[in-house]
A and B are shown apart, each in its own frame.
Chain A
Amino acid sequence: MPAYSLQINGKTHKVNTEASTPLLWVLREHLALSGTKFGCGLGQCGACTVHLDGSPMRSCTLPISSLQENQEITTIEGLSPNGKHPLQEAWIEEQVPQCGYCQSGQIMQAAALLDQNSQPTREEIISHMNGNLCRCGTYTRIVKAIQRAADANT
């Protein structure tokens, strides 16, 4: 089985697995970074969203062999040193999560937006977040929380 070296949340991790194994299983099952969730395995729901060199990616559709050793992977566990990213605080203020299962993916997706665009419009927020499903129906609060975090940026 091939060996891989990954940069995740600022640390180097070595993993032995088949070349086709999605990054999602590597994170969750090999490295016990379980904040990143499995929802569909098909790039349809966004529960598995992580950052690859700062861009939001669906880790369920990224085979480990497609990653370069020097690419920086960030998961929800590494988004902020203390869980106090402005989005995480806004998420608490707006009481966004219900079951919570989709929320790591939502926050990672939103964080990538604010990195690029600190003052997104409502339309920009919606189009950026459209790939992330929430079965509990927290969408209206997600929009409010992103707006709140953006306001906190100013």
Chain B
Amino acid sequence: MEKSSNNISRRNFIAAAGGVTLAITAYALYPTLSGSKKEIDPSDLAEEKVNAWVHLRNDGQITIYNPAAEMGQGSMTALPVILAEELDADWDKVKIETAPINVETYGFKAFGNRKVMINVGSRTVMGYYDALRQAGAQARYILLHSVAQHWSVPIQELNTAPSLVQHEASGREISYGEIVDILQEPENIPEIPSSDLKSPDEFRLIGKVLPRYDVPAKVDGSAQFAIDIQVPDMHYGVLERGKVHGAKPSLTNAAEIQSLEGIIAIVPFSYGVGVVATTLEKALAAKAKLAIDWDRNVTAQGHDSQSDLEGYQQLADASSDGKVMHKVGDVKAAMRKGIKKYTATYKNDYIYHAQMEPLNAIASVAADGQSAEIWAGTQNPGSIAPTVAKELGIEADQVKLNLCYLGGGLGRRSTSDYIVESVKLSQATGKPVKLMWTREDDLQYGMYRPLSLQKLEAATDANGQIIALNHCIVGDGSNLLASGAKNAFYNIPNQAVDLRLTQKGIRIKHWRAVGHGPNKFAIESFIDEIAADQGKDPLDIRRALMKDSPKALATLEKAAEMANWNTPPAPGRARGIAFGERSGALCTGICEISVEEDSGKIRVHHFWSAVDAGTIVQPDNVVAQMEGGIIMGMSSVFCEQLTIKNGEIQQSNFHDYPILRIEDAPESIEIAMMPSTDSPKGIGEASTPIVAGAIANAFATLTGKRLRHLPFSPSRVKRVLEA
């Protein structure tokens, strides 16, 4: 690092994104590669010109830094596509590397205009879109400026073609790689006005089907996830954590554990006991032998997930208002005026992330405790250095994070509990430690989508119009529960979301699409219940509700057309429809199902969905995200149920917490993307929230019965059918 930083300081470097001129330092030169060996040989550096987002080499290779964690959502490819578009780069010459973790340089503005490097809420592409277009346009400007100086022609006479600068008047052209040797730093780099950016019809890369950059390494086993990392002298750490969240351990056989072969240390945590050993198998064997007395005098004790729902119902029925999260018009007044009233209750059990790569991290804390290096997959890369530094009492710049591929994030990997654990184990032992969570650890000390109950009330006027909708949500977790309860695309003049909080002491967290899953289930079921009562078609009632929301309505019409809504399905089958918006994306889904009456098993045969996600950067990836979101949604709707008895998590692994298998995937999933030139919206969670409502509505059409409690496990479905 030292040496190359000297090399670099001799050179003239260029500015970066957002019109901010950056002092380019060595960190831009050695980004950590996710999943492959470093390609940049320090001896090549003399031939490179660098800005914070782009390396251009004189052989034409263009390296673009990806500032986001890649957890399957595909933004590792989408973000460089955005930059390469404005740079007018030849995509075949583009290499993608993970950006250094430097929030000031590589963050995007979110959450109150703060710069962040965090990948949550489907915000990555939309969060970086403008900044990366600007960065690409500015990088292009630098190249144009250099050529204009070199050829002594006005910059306005120059144009670009993929990786070429052209001067039409003289018929000359020069490749981007060749410009490296004549590069001249402009006095200042102007902010490129949006009128000078490409118009959508000029896009060559945005909106085109390009293969994902990470896919080849994910079919030959070479992609590196944190769990795959090995470092010299690495030891292995595991923790035993309580089955009751927050319970405090007392280890009763420390001497026995300490005497086991290969055990380096026992490390106490307030909520668990850590063991560090020379091998993973020794660490796991020791973990199995730990004898721990748990002090269960904690909030979670006594919590029974299924019977506590009765208390949730009482809270929902209580007359006092909870916390009003959203309000339009005057719901109470409108309710009084209404001609007909509707009430319905919906429930959902806890569910768990079940990302395929169990949590893990490698930490190497220096012997003097004054610096640390981390290897991890995290959705919150920007937070790791400050968090670890605080833990160690050192400065954040003494912590280096090597960001690896994530074997799924799904909301779980935006906290850093597992990374902090690895740091503590390394600090306690003076060794680099790979911390592993077993699947059982991952499930039982998980952070779940909260248990909740929703009571919806509506009133209609003399014409059958819904004039009031009150949505009462009961459960733990404030915004985790409220997301998606607001209906901005339905023309209902009086609406309120009323949150009534409980405290059960269970670790809870964002789970793909957060509160949208349960809330859209409730809202979309309720709309169909009102439609059924009024003898209206579920499509027609939504058409009327969306009359002032043309973009939402367009997804509805498109999905109906794809599914042939007006042609009845084969006997024994029914279709159901649902709409939802998440992270700006508007999405209608329709499923076609059948039910095995004996077993209570519901089968989804087909799923059609139309999404308006603004400008589509990577179309095939959007389709993949929509497909995956539907399948994960189906998994949560049919299979997933985490239960708690007297505070204890009852499930432990995939045998008792099943997730959807291939036999239960639909025969076909069809996705349509609405043409749009709006800025990109989030697609990673767009389709998940519509699944439950579409299935429940199809089920009601088929059987005349309502499913009101997620998941729709066969036993529950049978009970509903028999009721």
Contact = CB atoms under 8 A, between A and B. Distances in A.
Nearest to B631: A137
A115 B221 CA distance: 20
A40 B216 contact: no
Given A88-B219, A100-B214, A137 B632 contact: yes
Contact of B627 (A21, A45, A79, A137): A137
Contacts, number: 174
Contact of B219 (A29, A40, A83): A83
Contact of A37 (B71, B212, B356): B356
Contacts of A104: 221
Instruction: Output the residue of B71, B228, B621 with the most chain A CB within 10 A.
Output: B228
B627 A141 contact: yes
Contacts of A41: 438-439, 653
A131 B662 CA distance: 8
A25 B472 CA distance: 49
B631 A139 contact: yes
Nearest to B70: A99
Nearest to B221: A35
Interface string A95-109: 111111111100100
B665 interface: yes
Contacts of A121: none
Given A40-B654, A137-B628, A141-B624, A99 B221 contact: no
B366 to A, nearest CB: 24
Chain B, interface SS category: loop
A138 interface: yes
Given A25-B281, A140-B627, A39 B211 contact: no
Given A35-B221, A88-B219, A95 B212 contact: yes
A9 B660 CA distance: 32
B220 A35 contact: yes
Given A21-B281, A37-B407, A98 B219 contact: no
Given A32-B230, A44-B655, A132-B662, A75 B357 contact: no
A101 B219 CA distance: 10
B223 A135 contact: no
Contacts of A59: none
B609 interface: no
A139 B281 CA distance: 32
Q: A22, A39, A40, A98: which has the most chain B beta carbons within 10 Å? A: A98
Counting chain B residues whose Cβ lies within 8 A of the other chain, the interface size class is 35 or more
Given A95-B212, A100-B72, A139-B662, A45 B356 contact: yes
Of the listed residues B222, B280, B660, the one surrounded by the most CB atoms of chain A closer than 10 A to its CB is B280
A103 B219 contact: yes
B628 A100 contact: no
Contact of B281 (A18, A92, A98): A18
A113 interface: no
A99 B357 contact: yes
B501 to A, nearest CB: 30
Given A133-B356, A133-B654, A140-B668, A95 B620 contact: yes
B215 interface: yes
Nearest to A64: B281
A42 B628 CA distance: 24
Contact of A44 (B624, B631, B654): B654
A34 B653 contact: no
A97 B214 contact: yes
B459 interface: no
B407 A100 contact: yes
B226 to A, nearest CB: 11
Contacts of B625: 98
Closest 4 A-B residue pairs measured CB to CB? A35-B221, A137-B631, A101-B407, A100-B218
25 contacts: A17-B281, A18-B282, A35-B221, A40-B653, A44-B653, A83-B220, A92-B215, A95-B620, A97-B218, A98-B73, A98-B74, A99-B405, A99-B406, A99-B407, A99-B408, A100-B405, A101-B357, A104-B221, A130-B661, A133-B659, A136-B72, A136-B628, A139-B631, A140-B665, A140-B669
Interface of B: 71-74, 211-212, 214-225, 227-228, 230, 236, 279-282, 285, 354-358, 405-410, 438-439, 620-621, 624-625, 627-632, 635, 653-655, 659-663, 665-666, 668-669
